Structure formats: C-alpha cells, structure tokens
Structure 1
C-alpha cells in the first residue's frame, strides 16, 4: 500500500499540469463548474452593492465609514466563527444575512433613513468577510498542483460579473427595487449553492488530481487503502 501510494505521488509530481486537467475527472469538473457559478453570483452581488451605495443612503461618506469600521470587527469575529461552524455553514449564514440585509434596506420606506443605513452598513461590512471565506474554501477544494490554474479559471468566470453588475441597474426602468432583488437574491442563492460542495474543515488538502478522486470506485479504493494503513502496525 505504501509503495503504491508513493508511486502515485511520484507520477503526479512528474506530470506537468495544464488547464485541461481541471476538467479531467468528474469530481474536479463538478467543483470547477459550481465554484465558477458561485463566484459569478458573488461578484455580481458584491459589486452591485458597492457601485450603487448612493441609492441606499443620502450620506454616502457616513455609510462608507461605518461599513469599513464594522468590516474590521466582523473580520476578527469571523475567524472564530469559521473554525467553529465550518466553511459551508459559515458561508450559508453570512451570504444569507447579507442578502436579507440588502433586501431589507431596499424595501424599507425612505422615511426610515436610520434603519436603511443600518441595513446597508451591515450588508456592506459582510462583503469583505464573505470574500475571505469564499477564497479559503476554494483553495481548500482545489489540488495543490492545479490550485493557481483553478483560481485563474474561476476568477475568469467570476470577473464577468464585474461588467454585468452595473447592467442590472438598467432594470430600474421597470421597477426601482428590481435590480436590488437580483443583487440580494444572488447573495442568498450563493449561500445555498455551497451545499453542492464538500466540507473542508479539518480535512487534508488535496495535493494532486488523484487525491480529489476520479470516480466512485477509485474513491472507495482509496478509503480502503487508508483504513488498511490506519490499522496496520509498522
């Protein structure tokens, strides 16, 4: 078992990786597709909010100051929450709350300006923390040999949201709240789509494509080999 494992690792180290390898196995192909979609949803939502904060508050300077200060506090608290709740639950909670805060700020009447500022501040402050958690989860899902390439492919699809996010504001000609429904809805949809991916808390990082697994049969064989190693005394 040890010789077989060492042989597989040696062959993986000698093999030159390429972007095509990201779609070589079913499991890795699924992860790339899901992560690319999630990054697109997140990019549209986060830049849609950042570029149009003036629609949520008349005092944009105050809103930027409060969201930046609160973002620092959330980053400190997020470290402990992430280690306690795991990657998937943390993203579900943060992205769902962010979407709810955004939608609440939009549908609150203009007369309740204080509540609108509070909701918009919380939504903007959670953006940086959500980005950190998202990047951490992506890095832990991709194998080491293809991590940089995978991040490049995912970012390429995600960056399409950079120029599409402002275009959603054109929907305001039909309804003033319609663009914000998309921005907040994409954030909530991102939170639930994370369950299409495995949890990586306290799990070993995959070093190669072989560690991710080619199919169900190979994954089962790898688990059996791991169990043999654990029970064998050397």
Structure 2
C-alpha cells in the first residue's frame, strides 16, 4: 500500500517549498473574509424617515412636524415608515394654522411613505438599502439578500468536492476564484435588487468552492506537521485577517459600489499564483498520472535543496492506492444503527446552532450601539485569540469539556446582554466580544470533534453532514438579526439560549481525546446515558494514538 507521506518524507517538513505553498494558499483565503461578511456594510440600514417633497407646499412649521414620533426601546424616535397625511397638512398650512397651537397634530391621519425616504448620510453615502429602498414593507429583502448568499455557499459546498475530485484541486481553485471575483465585479453594476441578489448567490457558490479547494490542496501537498498548522491556524487566521480588513475598507469607502469594487480587486492579485501553486500530487496519483506527480515532487526537492530518490512512487502500489480512495459506504450508514443515528442527530444540532450563533453575532454588528466599523473590527480581531485558545484546549483538555465550556461561555454571556443598560455601550460591546470568542472557539473545534466521533469508513460523510448543517444555520441566521430591528436584545436572547442548551447537550457525546479512533461502525463509541454498549471485536479494533502535535482537521467559517 502506497504511503504518500512516507514516500515524500525526504522533502522535510518546513522547507522553502512548504513555506511558499503555506503562505500562498493561506493568502488566497483572505478574500473569503472580505466577502463572507461584506453584506453588513453593503446592505447597512441608515437612519431614515419618509420623504416630504418640496412640492407639498408646507410651511416650515408643518414640515417640522410632518413625521410622527414613536417609542422604540424606551426612546422617542421619528417613525421610519409613516408620515402625517400631506394633503391634510397642506390645507392647514394654506389656512395659516399652526401645529400644536391651532391643530392637534396627533389627530391627523397617517399615511405610508408615498414619495420615498430620506436617508442619513452620517455613516454611509449609499448602500443597496438606500439605492433600492429596502425598508418598511420591503425590509424582508435585507435578510433574504444575506440568506441567498449563504444559500449559494450551501449549494457550492455540495458541488465543490465533486468538482475537485473530477477536474483537480488546482483547476477548481482558480476557476472558483474567477467566479467569485468576476461575478463580484459584475455585481458592482447591478441595476436592481433582484440582479444584485442573484449575483450574490453565485458569488457565494464560488466563495465556498474556492475555500474548500484551497483547503484540500494545502492539506494534500504539505507534510504532516505543516498540514496540521495549515488546517488550523493557517486557514482560520488568514480568514480572520480578511475579516479584520473589511471594516477598514468600509470606513474609508462609504459608497457600496466603490466598496464592493475595492473588496473585489484583491482577488485579481491571486492570478500569479497559477504559476506558483502546483496540482495536488495525491490527486494526480489517484488519476493514474504518476509521472506528473513525480515531476512536482522533484521540483519541490530542487527548491528545498534535497536529492530525491531515483524512484519516488512505485507503480506496483498505484492500484492499491487508487482503490483505497473509493467509497465503500453510503449516507444511509449515518442512520442505520441507533448509536450512529443519535450521534448524527446531535452533530446536526451542534453545527446548526453554532453556525446560527457565529453568523448571527457577526451579522448583528450594525445593531450594536457605537461605531459599527470599530465594532466589526473588534469582533473580527477576537477570532485570532479564539483560534489559539481552541488549539490549546484541543491539545490539553477533554473534547466534551472544551466544547461545552466554550459554548456555555458564549451562550450565557449573550443571555446576560439583556441585563446591560442601553447607555453602557462599552460593556455591551465587550460582552458581545466574549460571546463571539466562545462561539468561534467552539466552531473551530467542531471539525476535529466530529471527525473523531465517526469511524473511518463514514468519517468524511459525518463531517460533511455537520458542515452542511452549518450552511443551513448560516442561511437562517440573517432572520435572527432581522429581529434586532424590532428589539435590540431579542437576537441575543435566542442565540444565547440555543448556544447554552447545546453546551449542555454536548456533554452527552462520548469522549474522544486520547481514545483509539474507530475504524468500523461497530466500534463507534456509545452516547452517554444510552443503555446499550458497542460491540467491539478485539481482533479488528485498530488502536491509534493522537498525534502529539494535536488534531489535523479544523476549518474556518466559510
């Protein structure tokens, strides 16, 4: 049987070749941080109220009272969706009557914003909301825009693996980069909300496919220790770098078309990577293209200044290697036995709720008090220490307790948001950051824990189902944010409750740290509290110890 890592061990772990691949592929993930959260600023909702046209012939006194006031979270604010009937106001104005003195304004009939809206330009010169009036009776288009993007991510995650398996990691990586960048440029010239939303859906498909292809390519090209760092801190932190740059771009560029173009241009800088990043040698081997795989390894050896052996891959081992890549199980195996079925159901709930918490908190940034650009930067920056803490927890603490503690931290802190007075803006921001810290850490560990729960024969499918559930959570999350327009605290109460409950339920999962990885379905560990036990055959159970450097699989949000 061909052992790829052993066959290429002469390259070393951290030579110039590995460093270039590590940083170039990680850099290609930065645009995912731009686009994944850009909707917060592209579709931001400025302060607004009904437009009172100059042609209404109102005196200044009547114009000043033309918009009614209403209570919102204990504060008097101007109505965003209603005004006093202009025809009536014009009659009173023409007669010289004064509001409050001659006429009780509150008794005048109300009407909708028939002439459009007036938007504040204090924070944004323009957004898609101000351009196409996505407010009041059309405010449902806002969360739908975000959901369509994540629906594209959901569809893209279905097809990205199959595409890279069929056409190669490198071709799919650059093709999806082209889709993401090209359709984003076209999106700049959108003439309607419908056009913008459809293009955003396609951009979402390209983004996740781009990320998955880069993740797989790096995991297959790099050696063991480099692969571990790339699959954890590499991809996650470079995603966070893109996320942190988003509010910086948005702060200096307040027009949505110019901002989108500025966020898209960095994707063009990835074009030269075509001549630097090679195809995945393991994929070439699986396709029978042994000579091409050997040529890539020899070029890598030359760059690392080492001498390759005369024969790197033995042709006699090729067929066995290709056979080992074939799937022998179906998705039905995830639900056939009671034990695996319960693990699958809990995994779906875990990924769904974590995703709702992560994206809900991230996308709800504009509803926080204070500067939205600073708040976004802080919530992005908190991800870096979160990833590092998650890595340390995975190396040193039991999986169940690591997941439970971070989920409970995030959930409880978000629940406590309802106790914070509205005027304590700094405390609110700090608490949201702590909540984001906990949820992000749990999200980072979910890939590792899920991979260890499932036996080898269905591990990829188990992780795939969990990942797919997270995509569904991302599609749903904008509607949690939507509730914040009516009650600032309600999204945090819902997200905090779900996250805290999941923090307790995760304790039902079996512990996997330091345990032998199950190879077959019969060897899957039992859920805590179930009365049956798994039937393990000592002859077939293969014991594996966890790598001293920690687990291999982690991933970013998108």
* Structure having the larger proportion of residues in helix: 1
Q: Is the contact made by 1:91 and 1:194 (CA closer than 8 Å) also made in structure 2?
A: yes
Report which structure shows greater RCO (CA 8 Å, sep ≥6). 1
Unaligned runs of at least 5 residues, structure 2: 1-323, 542-558
Q: 2:412 corresponds to which residue?
A: 100
Return the match for 1:184 from 496, 499, 511: 496
Q: d(CA) in 1 for partners of 2:415 and 2:393?
A: 24
Q: Count residues with an aligned counterpart.
A: 213
Q: 1:140 corresponds to which residue?
A: 452
Counterpart mapping for 1:12-161 below 5 A:
16-161=328-473
Q: d(CA) in 1 for partners of 2:467 and 2:396?
A: 28
Q: d(CA) in 2 for partners of 1:102 and 1:147?
A: 33
Q: Is the contact made by 2:334 and 2:340 (CA closer than 8 Å) also made in structure 1?
A: yes
Once the two structures are overlaid, the 10-residue window that deviates more, 14-23 or 208-217, is: 208-217
Q: d(CA) in 1 for partners of 2:408 and 2:393?
A: 15
How large is the RMSD of aligned CA atoms in angstroms?
2.8
Q: 1:222 corresponds to which residue?
A: 537
Q: Is the contact made by 1:142 and 1:150 (CA closer than 8 Å) also made in structure 2?
A: yes
Q: d(CA) in 1 for partners of 2:390 and 2:470?
A: 23
Q: d(CA) in 2 for partners of 1:106 and 1:56?
A: 13
Q: Is the contact made by 2:406 and 2:442 (CA closer than 8 Å) also made in structure 1?
A: yes
Distance 1:44 1:217, change over 3 A: closer
**What is the SS of the residue equivalent to 1:203?**
coil
Deviations 1:106-164 (A, max 9, x none): 43112111111111122223333211111111010011121111222233333222222
Once the two structures are overlaid, the 10-residue window that deviates more, 107-116 or 160-169, is: 160-169
Shift of 1:86: 0.8
TM-score if structure 1 supplies the norm length?
A: 0.79
Q: d(CA) in 1 for partners of 2:387 and 2:328?
A: 38
Once the two structures are overlaid, the 10-residue window that deviates more, 207-216 or 179-188, is: 207-216
Shift of 1:54: 1.6
Instruction: Note if 1:167 corresponds to 2:483.
Output: no
Q: Is the contact made by 2:329 and 2:458 (CA closer than 8 Å) also made in structure 1?
A: yes
TM-score if structure 2 supplies the norm length?
A: 0.35
Q: d(CA) in 2 for partners of 1:17 and 1:52?
A: 41
Shift of 1:178: 2.3
Shift of 1:27: 1.0
Q: d(CA) in 2 for partners of 1:55 and 1:184?
A: 16
Distance 1:170 1:203, change over 3 A: same
Once the two structures are overlaid, the 10-residue window that deviates more, 107-116 or 125-134, is: 125-134
Q: d(CA) in 1 for partners of 2:327 and 2:351?
A: 29
Q: Is the contact made by 1:105 and 1:115 (CA closer than 8 Å) also made in structure 2?
A: no
Q: Is the contact made by 2:453 and 2:525 (CA closer than 8 Å) also made in structure 1?
A: no
Distance 1:127 1:195, change over 3 A: closer
Distance 1:43 1:36, change over 3 A: same
Shift of 1:85: 2.5
Distance 1:164 1:217, change over 3 A: closer
Distance 1:129 1:144, change over 3 A: same
Q: Is the contact made by 2:484 and 2:490 (CA closer than 8 Å) also made in structure 1?
A: yes
Distance 1:218 1:176, change over 3 A: closer
Q: d(CA) in 2 for partners of 1:94 and 1:179?
A: 19
**What is the SS of the residue equivalent to 1:222?**
coil
Distance 1:73 1:161, change over 3 A: closer
**What is the SS of the residue equivalent to 2:513?**
coil
Q: d(CA) in 2 for partners of 1:213 and 1:103?
A: 33
Shift of 1:171: 4.3
Unaligned runs of at least 5 residues, structure 1: 1-12, 227-234
Q: d(CA) in 1 for partners of 2:349 and 2:412?
A: 21
